[in-house]
Each structure stands twice: as structure tokens, then as C-alpha cells.
Chain A
Amino acid sequence: MTTPGAAVTPQPPRRPPGGGAAADSGWRRLHPLSPLVRSGRAVLAVAALAGLSTSGVMGSGAGTHWYDLALAVILVVAAIVNWLVTRWKVDGATLRIETGLLRRDSRQLPVARIQAVDLVRPFLARMLGLAEIRVRLAGSGDADGRLAYLTEPAAEALRARLLAAHHGLDPATPEPAEQVVTSVPTGRLAGSALIPAVPLAAVTVAAGALIAAAAPGGFLAVGAPLAWWLVTFGAIVWRRVSSQYAFTVAVSPDGVRIRRGLLGTVAETIPLPRIQAVRMIEPLLWRPWRWCRLEVDVAGGLGHDRREGTGAVRKALLPVGSQEEAGHLLAIALPAAGAWPALRPPPGRARWKAPLSYHFLAAGHDGTLAVAVTGRVRRETTWVPLAKAQSVRLVQGPFQRRLGLATVHLDAAGKRVRAEFRERRQEEARALVGELAALSRSARRQATHKPPGPPAPAGGPAAGLRGAAVPGAGR
């Protein structure tokens, strides 16, 4: 804490440009320690490098050079300037964030259009009792709604306030009690991360042993890649386990809350009506344990397609769990669905078009929900609420046409979020396009006119509407 302070003595006190006397009304700064946390890791790395270079382990000569420290100082100064020029406030139903020194950037995030609110605590921030708030809107990038860092109670209060305002309640409403639905034991998590590697490891070790037996001198040549592979794989398993450690799903009137993380923790809150699609994945190697993974899709910035991490649009609702747990969570995530639609397989001639995935292919729909099963070695089941459908598409390739088959896609918001009715009969597919379009129209109308369930998206229809379509954008 004293080091960065000492490093910036020449830094002139800077006011946020554009902020005059009126700026004091409710504007708040981030926590004063945020520059330290934000630049912490980079500064540590640079300091370590500088230390190595000074002690003569690395680099040309011993002795401290001014430029060893310059990079660290620049990083710290940049972080402090960023802190000085960043301010935020909750203005009625809008979260406003202003930042930027040279190019002033002022963002207004309407709470009615929040898709998810994440509370992120990296390790360093957690040690200092700080937390970052990330507000996700549809179509926004990663960096858009970030407030790094606030104190933990302040972050939690802000989250409660934003979510209360999102649901149309008084912003002062305290955070409602949550009820833990399920949690993932560490053993199962580690097992699920290790299982995919076991056959691969066996093959590698066997191959290594064979080569070593055939040519004793080749042992080193085999051992080095093997060790490298083990390290890489260990890193992958570690990342998976540490990011999903102590995974808990809780339900509150605010939505689904996911908590996870070992060193740094993440608490994600997704309002239930914001779930675009739910996907259940059953990998081949998990099948003996009948485990599966459940993911939900939330509308977010297109173009990003990261699997893990908080920036992801696709969030794991259950990293690994039994079918029963998944079914339970599914019923929570899609409250509209009472009975699940019946699945019907495609006709037998689809075997010619999709020989590897035919055994999984099935699809069905009812008035509110479409379900489709796809996959070759791992089964993927996708549920898309019809009220969330963005478009219906029929695609028929030349080979499908020969066989009298066609595929119908029901797209939801996102990059590859859709239920695929693969290899249906041609006539059935054509009828399906019209039927799905009509059903999703009435489902959408119902959802807009009669907000379902407990979290009435107040301000939803009115505010969501105007924002959703930006008409006349033609140039």
C-alpha cells in the first residue's frame, strides 16, 4: 500500500474532466485500494523480474537499473489514474459509470435490461475484502458494466439494489433470502476433471513403455514430452477444479445464484426470465457414473464465445452432477414447463445422412418449450423456451433432399444457441416451421402481456421494448 503511494508522488491530483460542482451529487469512487489490486499481479511479476535481473540471475549485469522499475511505476500510475477518473452512481433505474482520462467514457446501464449480475473476487481482492461487480446487458462487451473494486458489503448492497430495481421493487429492498438447491462435492468435481484423461494417460504411458522397452536410449526422448503433457494436463485440471470448487446453486426471488471458486470466488446471479436456453451434456466417459453437465445461455455480447470464466455467455448451472440433480435444476431454470415435451426420433432413413449421431437424434416440442437431442459421442440435449425464439429456420442440404429430410433450427439469442430438429421428414419439417413460428408468437405474446412467475420484469415490457428494436437504422 505504501509502495504505490511512494511511487506516485509526482502524480498531480487530477479531477475527473467534465465533473464540475454538479458532479458531487451521488457520484461515488471505487475503493482506494483498487489500483493496488488491479495492478497487483502485473507489478508483482515486474518486481520479480527486476529482482532476478538485479541479483544477476537473469539479464546482462548485476545492479539496479532505473528502467527495471519504470514499467512497474507506469503500471501503478496508470491504475491510479484510472481510479481517479472513474466514478459511478445509481441514478433511479440506471447505473452510470464514467471513466477514461483522455477519452471520456460515460456508460448508462438501465437496470431493467440486466441479464446477469456477477460478483467477482480475485484472490488478491479477496484478501483485502474487496469485490468486483459485473453487470451484463445484452449486446454489451466484457468490460462494459464493471466496477472494480468495492468493499464486499458495498458490492453486495449494490447487487441487491440493482436486482431489486430490476424486478421493479423499491431499490432499498434488502437482498431476499436464498435457498441452496444443490452443491457439487469436491471429489466428484476432481473425478470428473480427471476421468477424461485416464484413457489418454494409459495410452501414453503404454506407448512410452513400449518405446522405452524397444530402445532403452529413447527413454529420455519419450519422458520429456510425457512430463510436459502431464504438466499441461495438470494445469487444465487445476483450472477446472479451482474455478468450479465449492460450486453451489441457490435460488432466490432475484434469480439463480451460482457460487464457485477456490482462490478467487465468483457469485453469479441470473434472473430466471433471462435464461435463453438450457443445455445438458452427457460426455461418453462420464456415462458409467450417469453424470452430466448443465449449462444455461444468457444473452450477452456476440463475438465472445469463451467457455469458462465470468465473461462467458454460457454459464454452467451444474458442472457435474447426477441426472436427478440436473432434472431438478432444469425445472427451476425453466419454470414455465410443467410436463416435458415428448421426444420423437427422426425416420430410419436418417441413418444414411447421420450414421454417427442417429442413435441420439430426437426432438419434440409443446406449447412453451422445444427440446432437441444431438451429438455423436456425447449426448447434448437443448431446451429452448418458445417465448425466447428469435427465428425459425429450415435448412435442407442436397443429400437431405435426396432422402426427403430437412433440419429445423429454433434460434435463441446468442451465437450458437439453438435447438436443432435434425433430419426430420421433409413434410414434417415444413409443417414444423409454421407451427413453431405460430407457437413462439403466442408464447411471446403471453410472456409480454402477462409477466410470468414471481420476478415480474417491471419496466420490462415498456423499457425492454423500446430498447429492443432500434428502428430505422438503415443507412
Chain B
Amino acid sequence: MPGMPEDGVMCPSPRLWRMRCAEVMAAATVLAVAAGAAAGLTLGAGAAVIAVAVVTAGALAALWFVRNRFRSWMYQERDEDLIVGRGVLIHRLSVVPYGRMQFVDVSAGPIDRVFRLATVKLHTAAAASDARIPGLEREEAARLRDRLAALGEAKAAGL
């Protein structure tokens, strides 16, 4: 982000990109098989090829979007607050002071666990302040959680 000091800017793990690729490709494969089979059985072999080609094109577009999305994630731990930036179409940048943190949430779904990733989410008393960082490697997630928790306790302010 321009206007912000560039040092200490961190990104999610490259494994997040691999995970998103795997997700898109798995979905595309299932869709291509289904669409190809449906078109092939009802309309013929030519239709099946077209259906598979359309699905492939869609998957490539999705991959392009997912890559941009992956690249847009950034976070930065400053002295007093955490900055999280994200978004391709809609850019969002959140600045959350450590003192406002209510709790930290580390979650990892089944696919996340296969790729040894986790999502760290910072909750404040405001429902709108969404400081969520996906695709952190487990060690980084644990480090961030502990650091945020320690800083939150040190700098906490009442409501």
C-alpha cells in the first residue's frame, strides 16, 4: 500500500496460493467431468468438447482472479496496531489497535490442515472491523497469535 512504510509488510504463505489452485482445479475437474458427461450423453461428442473447454476457460479465469486475490493480502505489525489489507475489486485496509482486541481466533479447516495452514482473526467490539489473515503457516499463525495476545494484554483499554 502506498503511503505506508514498506518495512515489515508480510504476506500469507505461498502455500495459500497452492491451496487455492488445488481448490479451483478440483472444482473445475468435477465440473468438467459432469458437464462433459451431461453434454456428451445428450448432445454428442462435439458438445462435450465445447463444455469441457468452457469449464477450462472458466477455471483459468478463476485462477487469474484467485492469484490476484492471493497477492492482495498483506499485513503489518506496527508498534501499536495491526494493519491488514486485502481485496482485488474492492480494496480494504483495516487498522486495528492491539488495545482494542477482544480475542484472537485461530482456525484451520480440513483443507487448510492438509496444507498446514491456519487463519488468524482478530475480534474487536466493533462487528465491522474485520482483521482476518488467511493462509498463515502454522508456526507463523501461532507466533502471531501469541504476539497479538501479549500485546493485547499489555496495551488493553476498556470499552
Q: Which residues of A are in contact with B by a Cβ distance under 8 Å?
A: 113, 115, 138-139, 274, 276, 299, 302, 388-398, 401, 406, 409, 411-418, 427, 430-431, 433-434, 437, 440-441, 444, 447-448, 457, 460-461, 463-475
A143–B156 Cα gap in the complex (Å)? 28
B3 within 8 A of A: yes
**When the two chains form their complex, are residues B94 and A391 in contact, meaning their CB atoms are under 8 A apart?**
yes
Contact of B126 among A391, A433, A448, A474 (CB under 8 A): A391
Cross-chain pairs A/B with CB under 8 angstroms, 11 sampled: A299-B125, A389-B97, A391-B94, A392-B94, A401-B91, A414-B126, A415-B128, A466-B156, A469-B153, A471-B150, A471-B153
A461–B159 Cα gap in the complex (Å)? 10
CB neighbours (8 Å) of A390 from chain B are 96-97, 100, 124-126, 129
CB neighbours (8 Å) of B148 from chain A are 471
B134 within 8 A of A: no
A334–B40 Cα gap in the complex (Å)? 70
A23–B104 Cα gap in the complex (Å)? 38
A387–B81 Cα gap in the complex (Å)? 15
Q: A414-B127, A471-B152 are in contact. Are A391 and B103 (CB under 8 A)?
A: no
Least distance between A382 CB and chain B CB atoms (Å)? 13
CB neighbours (8 Å) of B101 from chain A are 469, 471
10 additional contacts (CB under 8 A) given A299-B125, A465-B157, A474-B145: A113-B158, A391-B97, A394-B92, A412-B126, A414-B126, A418-B128, A437-B81, A444-B97, A468-B156, A469-B149
B95 within 8 A of A: yes
Contact of B159 among A411, A413, A415, A416 (CB under 8 A): A413
CB neighbours (8 Å) of A417 from chain B are 126
Contact of B157 among A406, A411, A427, A448 (CB under 8 A): A448
A468–B124 Cα gap in the complex (Å)? 9
Q: A433-B93, A461-B158 are in contact. Are A393 and B129 (CB under 8 A)?
A: yes
**When the two chains form their complex, are residues A391 and B95 in contact, meaning their CB atoms are under 8 A apart?**
yes
| Overall SS of chain A's interface | mixed
Nearest B residue to A461 via CB reads B158
A413–B127 Cα gap in the complex (Å)? 7
Least distance between B6 CB and chain A CB atoms (Å)? 14
CB neighbours (8 Å) of B107 from chain A are 475
**When the two chains form their complex, are residues B95 and A464 in contact, meaning their CB atoms are under 8 A apart?**
no
Chain B 120-159 residues near chain A, CB threshold 8 A: 120, 124-129, 131, 142, 145-146, 148-150, 152-153, 156-159
CB neighbours (8 Å) of A138 from chain B are 125, 159
**When the two chains form their complex, are residues B159 and A469 in contact, meaning their CB atoms are under 8 A apart?**
no
B114 within 8 A of A: no
A472–B125 Cα gap in the complex (Å)? 17
CB neighbours (8 Å) of B125 from chain A are 138-139, 299, 390, 413-414
B89 within 8 A of A: yes
CB neighbours (8 Å) of A398 from chain B are 89-90
B23 within 8 A of A: no
Chain B 61-82 residues near chain A, CB threshold 8 A: 80-81
Contact of B158 among A393, A465, A472 (CB under 8 A): A465
What 4 pairs across the A-B complex have the smallest Cβ distances? A464-B158, A391-B129, A471-B149, A413-B125
Q: A437-B97, A471-B104 are in contact. Are A391 and B131 (CB under 8 A)?
A: yes
Nearest A residue to B155 via CB reads A469
**When the two chains form their complex, are residues B128 and A468 in contact, meaning their CB atoms are under 8 A apart?**
no
Q: A411-B129, A431-B3, A475-B106 are in contact. Are A394 and B158 (CB under 8 A)?
A: no
CB neighbours (8 Å) of A474 from chain B are 104-106, 120, 142, 145, 149
CB neighbours (8 Å) of B128 from chain A are 391, 393, 409, 411, 415-416, 418
A413–B124 Cα gap in the complex (Å)? 8
Interface centre among B131, B150, B152 (most CB of A within 10 A): B152
Least distance between A400 CB and chain B CB atoms (Å)? 9
Nearest B residue to A401 via CB reads B91
**When the two chains form their complex, are residues A430 and B3 in contact, meaning their CB atoms are under 8 A apart?**
yes
Q: A412-B126, A448-B157 are in contact. Are A469 and B103 (CB under 8 A)?
A: yes
A470–B150 Cα gap in the complex (Å)? 10
Least distance between A63 CB and chain B CB atoms (Å)? 56
**When the two chains form their complex, are residues B127 and A437 in contact, meaning their CB atoms are under 8 A apart?**
no
A437–B153 Cα gap in the complex (Å)? 19
Contact of B3 among A388, A391, A409, A434 (CB under 8 A): A434
Least distance between B41 CB and chain A CB atoms (Å)? 41
CB neighbours (8 Å) of B4 from chain A are 434
**When the two chains form their complex, are residues A274 and B159 in contact, meaning their CB atoms are under 8 A apart?**
yes
A460–B80 Cα gap in the complex (Å)? 21
**When the two chains form their complex, are residues B158 and A391 in contact, meaning their CB atoms are under 8 A apart?**
no
Nearest A residue to B153 via CB reads A471
**When the two chains form their complex, are residues A397 and B145 in contact, meaning their CB atoms are under 8 A apart?**
no
Least distance between A250 CB and chain B CB atoms (Å)? 24
A412–B126 Cα gap in the complex (Å)? 6
Contact of B2 among A415, A430, A444, A475 (CB under 8 A): A430
Contact of A397 among B90, B124, B131 (CB under 8 A): B90
Least distance between B141 CB and chain A CB atoms (Å)? 8
**When the two chains form their complex, are residues A395 and B90 in contact, meaning their CB atoms are under 8 A apart?**
yes
CB neighbours (8 Å) of A470 from chain B are 102-103
Least distance between A11 CB and chain B CB atoms (Å)? 43
CB neighbours (8 Å) of B153 from chain A are 469, 471
**When the two chains form their complex, are residues A394 and B93 in contact, meaning their CB atoms are under 8 A apart?**
yes
CB neighbours (8 Å) of A388 from chain B are 159
A395–B96 Cα gap in the complex (Å)? 14
CB neighbours (8 Å) of A471 from chain B are 101, 103-104, 148-150, 152-153
A413–B104 Cα gap in the complex (Å)? 17
Nearest B residue to A448 via CB reads B157
Nearest B residue to A394 via CB reads B93
